[in-house]
Structure 1
Amino acid sequence: MSKHSSPRLIIIFLITFIIGQSGILSAAPFSLPDHAKLTYGPLKFDPPQPSRITMPNGLTVYIIENHELPVVKITLIVKSGTMYDPPGKEGVSELTASVMRTGGTLKMAPQAIDETLDYYAATIEAGKGLEQIQWSLFSLKKDFEEVLGIFSQILREPLFDEGRLKLGKDLKSEEIRRLADDPQNWAFKEFNRLLYQGNPRGRLPSLSTIKNIQKSDLVECHRRHYAPENMIMALSGDIRREDAEMLLRKAFGDWNAKGQIAPVAAPFKPFSPGSYYIVKETPQTIIVTGQSAPKKGSDAYYAFDVIDFVLGSGGFRSRIFQEVRTNRGLAYSTGSFYRARRDYGVFGAYAMTKSASAPTALHVIQDIMKNVKRDGLSPKEIDGAKKAILNSFVFQFDSLHQIVTQQALLAFDKLPADFLQQYRQRITSLPPAEIRKTAANVLTPDDSITLILGSEAGYLHIKEIYPDLKRIIVNYD
């Protein structure tokens, strides 16, 4: 026997074994069980309750201990955002937060803050938003006191370095110039502007408003919004509650600034429906249509969450996805969304399609809404939506920091502390009659804001079918 014969025999044996096994497998094909017939115990939602402290200056903090890793996290929610920006200064709240972070403090230069945070492998970041600004902090446990001290300086004594302000304005201006390069983002921004027309939420930053913003505007925005009574903090991590409270009181307890924020009215009073078109030479057409919807925590809120899920936010099995994409192939992306806020809500549907299919896609979406408004949902749809919502709800809180942040957000929105528990109970007990009533009362597909972004040829085509469609030209100068 040659020295190569043994490997050859092994290979022949393996091939014979694999072929034999494949024959066995082919003789007994494997089939997946019907998911609808699977039985399993109910998912339990019993999250730990954060500790709450409120300092004499009004700063409220929610704390959950988490000793799995030697880190500490903070989310700070500030009553600020673009809806509070003065006319002609749109963008000032975003720039204020950005330059607070990058522009140094009265005690630390901008570069010193950056280098110190890098040394500690820590982060302090500012977000942006319409109705709130969220800050985040991440630190190793051993460095938390030092990092928290820097965070306190940033919030209390920002320097607003002129060089960093100029850089922030340049970056924001470039973002505005490039907005049209992202048609989907552009379409949704313009949809929001039209939806919130006549309300401060509908004002968008432009090149001229960013140019108008000076350091004094940032100082004034900080004075009005960055005060303890306008903030709620969420903290989690490898630290005892008593130690966290001691450090927080040391960092913020003697901060006695008072904010001065003018209230902003809820939108849609009045609401003016209309259909609008923006020309952008792009191979795709983007359709967004929407209307007002129930506010968060209202009686209709729970029923409409189910309605939205069935209409389009429920993914592959939703009515809009099934009919627009699966059955008719009219769009590569389509669905719906429901944004519920403390004093109002927004419901909308969207489709990304080709120009020739745009009129049909819009018509199908409107017909689906009309059918639900008229006939409600089937018992099967309601049962499936409830199960999916309740099952997915649990997994939205897969970390302790998410739980404590949600509790802080509820407090920020002045919702009950047990809102999350109430939510599951209310969804479970929803009667079909209430869902049908809500659909009939809320859905108004014929009285909505519709924004379409697409080519010139697409505009001429859809204008023949929707003669009331108005072409608009957007200028961000």
Structure 2
Amino acid sequence: MLDVISFNQNTFPLIYEQDSSLPIVYFKLLFKNSGRAYDEIAGEASFFARLLNEGSDDSFFKELELRAINLSASADFETFDISIDCLKEHFPFAIKKLYSLLLKPNFSDKILSRLKNTVLGELASKNSDFDYLAKRLLDKTVYPYKEFQSSMDGDEKSIKDINLNALKRYYENLLNSENLVLCIGGDLKKDDFIREISPILELFSSKKTEKKHFDFVEVKKDTLELKKQSTQAYVYFASPAKLSLKDKDLYLAKIAIFVLGAGGFGSRIMEEIRVKRGLAYSAYARLNLCLSYERIFGYLQTKSENSSLAKNLLREIFSNFIKNGINEHEFEQTKKFMLGSSCLHYESLAKRLNIALREFYQGLKIGQLKEELKFIENSSLKDLNSYIKEHKEFEKLVFASIQNEYS
């Protein structure tokens, strides 16, 4: 359920579910507009998450482990979050430790230097990860913005530029009360939860962060990098998707993309590329919708000498899909799977809370996913194929590949 906490003239959205079936508590602080897309120096959000995951001192995580408390911070492209899960009896202690961590993060030169060495080592190892490099190449090709020019962790130059003052600015400016959404569930009454976390809410200043949005560059392009060490072609592709998370008929797009490439074996892409022609072990296309960007995104790996054939085949698959839509068998099987597997989304407290949190974050009403299942159940093949024909932008494929120089 969705609620609101009022505290010191601030209001905080609260996603809450009381569940007394087990004596556990699941808690998350989610900060909007605070991930990689909002870094002042590329990699700041991810770096600050690493810093929090070092604890406030050497005994920090030892004390948590003794009580089986899991506390971790992470950053993605749009958001930053801090999560706790533990037994109900240890929740007050977990909150006390989180308070001490957020009150005085370990902004020390020693931690900064060690984390820089760790990140730089990881980035160096990724220079020979052709799959990673191909995905990065695609992102830079279709989104020519500074926010996409390096990974979540930044690059070698940006990591060297990160300093303690930059991390302090990131913390003060982006992890603020305007961006904060609270999520709590388990064997805990709401009033008890509010009492426990009130000290933490005092730590965040009231600042506003403007949302960002990035447009897909609709240019027919096939970007290729040659690496003589590569024995395969790593092919990533994307196409624009003129869709919004709030579209009332978005469920039709989800059915369509499931048939096209998100459904594993049986999907068009897998059948044509792997089953019939043996060009790849795995091939997929997925709907990649966020608040900050929208696209269809996919991948396959094949022999370098087959990469042109595979790309041409993908173009043909997309073209035929838009032109002819899907058939009755594909439609019924996809509906059956999507409806039949829906119960798995809600099988645990953590999953239910994360679904509700995602719905709220995306500007949807709580319970939207369940309503969407009803629309899927009542959908018609005629409406779906009409919808598919309207989205000719799906055909505008952009490729980014890494393969060896002998192809």
TM score, norm. by length of structure 2 = 0.91
* Aligned 1:70-219 pairs, distance under 5 A: 70-79=23-32, 80-86=34-40, 89-102=41-54, 104=56, 110-198=57-145, 200-204=147-151, 205-219=154-168
Post-superposition CA distance 1:345-378 (Å, at most 9, x none): 2202321111122222222121111001111111
Q: Letter of the aligned partner of 1:290 in structure 2?
A: A
CA distance in 1, matches of 2:319, 2:95: 53
Indicate if the aligned counterparts of 1:295 and 1:343 stay in contact, CA closer than 8 A.
no
Indicate if the aligned counterparts of 1:187 and 1:453 stay in contact, CA closer than 8 A.
yes
Q: Which runs of 5+ in 2 are unaligned?
A: none
Counterpart residue number, 1:437 = 386
Counterpart residue number, 1:393 = 342
* 2:223 equivalent to 1:276: yes
CA distance in 2, matches of 1:184, 1:152: 40
Indicate if the aligned counterparts of 1:83 and 1:203 stay in contact, CA closer than 8 A.
no
Counterpart residue number, 1:405 = 354
* 2:244 equivalent to 1:292: no
* 2:305 equivalent to 1:351: no
Residues 287 and 300 from structure 1, CA distance in 2 versus in 1: closer, same or farther, beyond 3 angstroms?
Answer: farther
Indicate if the aligned counterparts of 2:78 and 2:292 stay in contact, CA closer than 8 A.
no
CA distance in 1, matches of 2:15, 2:27: 10
Q: State the Cα distance separating 1:329 from its structure 2 match.
A: 0.9
CA distance in 1, matches of 2:203, 2:236: 45
Q: State the Cα distance separating 1:434 from its structure 2 match.
A: 3.3
Identity, in percent, stands at 20
CA distance in 1, matches of 2:182, 2:272: 44
CA distance in 2, matches of 1:103, 1:113: 5
Counterpart residue number, 1:69 = 22
Indicate if the aligned counterparts of 2:259 and 2:268 stay in contact, CA closer than 8 A.
yes
Indicate if the aligned counterparts of 1:96 and 1:218 stay in contact, CA closer than 8 A.
yes
* 2:309 equivalent to 1:360: yes
TM score, norm. by length of structure 1 = 0.79
Indicate if the aligned counterparts of 2:318 and 2:395 stay in contact, CA closer than 8 A.
no
* 2:210 equivalent to 1:262: yes
CA distance in 1, matches of 2:212, 2:80: 16
CA distance in 2, matches of 1:266, 1:330: 33
Q: State the Cα distance separating 1:446 from its structure 2 match.
A: 5.3
Residues 206 and 342 from structure 1, CA distance in 2 versus in 1: closer, same or farther, beyond 3 angstroms?
Answer: closer
Q: State the Cα distance separating 1:133 from its structure 2 match.
A: 1.8
Counterpart residue number, 2:282 = 333
CA distance in 1, matches of 2:201, 2:210: 25
CA distance in 2, matches of 1:337, 1:54: 37
Q: State the Cα distance separating 1:245 from its structure 2 match.
A: 2.7
Indicate if the aligned counterparts of 2:4 and 2:11 stay in contact, CA closer than 8 A.
no
CA distance in 2, matches of 1:344, 1:426: 25
Superposed structure 1 runs of 4+ greater than 4 Å apart: none
CA distance in 2, matches of 1:437, 1:331: 31
Asked which structure has the greater CA Rg, the reply is: 1
Counterpart residue number, 2:330 = 381
Counterpart residue number, 2:6 = 55
CA distance in 2, matches of 1:156, 1:97: 15
Indicate if the aligned counterparts of 1:103 and 1:164 stay in contact, CA closer than 8 A.
no
Q: Letter of the aligned partner of 1:391 in structure 2?
A: G
Counterpart residue number, 1:369 = 318
Q: Letter of the aligned partner of 1:128 in structure 2?
A: A
Post-superposition CA distance 1:27-75 (Å, at most 9, x none): xxxxxxxxxxxxxxxxxxxxxxx36232332332222223333322222
CA distance in 2, matches of 1:120, 1:343: 39
Post-superposition CA distance 1:86-119 (Å, at most 9, x none): 2xx1001111222133252xxxxx2132232233
Post-superposition CA distance 1:94-150 (Å, at most 9, x none): 11222133252xxxxx21322322332212111121111232212222221011121
- Count of matched residue positions in the alignment of Structure 1 and Structure 2: 400
* Aligned-CA RMSD value: 2.1
Q: Letter of the aligned partner of 2:214 in structure 1?
A: A
Counterpart residue number, 1:453 = 402
Range with bigger deviation, 281-290 or 60-69: 60-69
Range with bigger deviation, 439-448 or 207-216: 439-448
Range with bigger deviation, 314-323 or 287-296: 287-296
Post-superposition CA distance 1:432-456 (Å, at most 9, x none): 3432233223244653320111111
Q: Which runs of 5+ in 1 are unaligned?
A: 1-49, 105-109, 459-477
Q: State the Cα distance separating 1:209 from its structure 2 match.
A: 0.7
* Aligned 1:10-21 pairs, distance under 5 A: none
Residues 68 and 300 from structure 1, CA distance in 2 versus in 1: closer, same or farther, beyond 3 angstroms?
Answer: closer
CA distance in 1, matches of 2:238, 2:162: 33
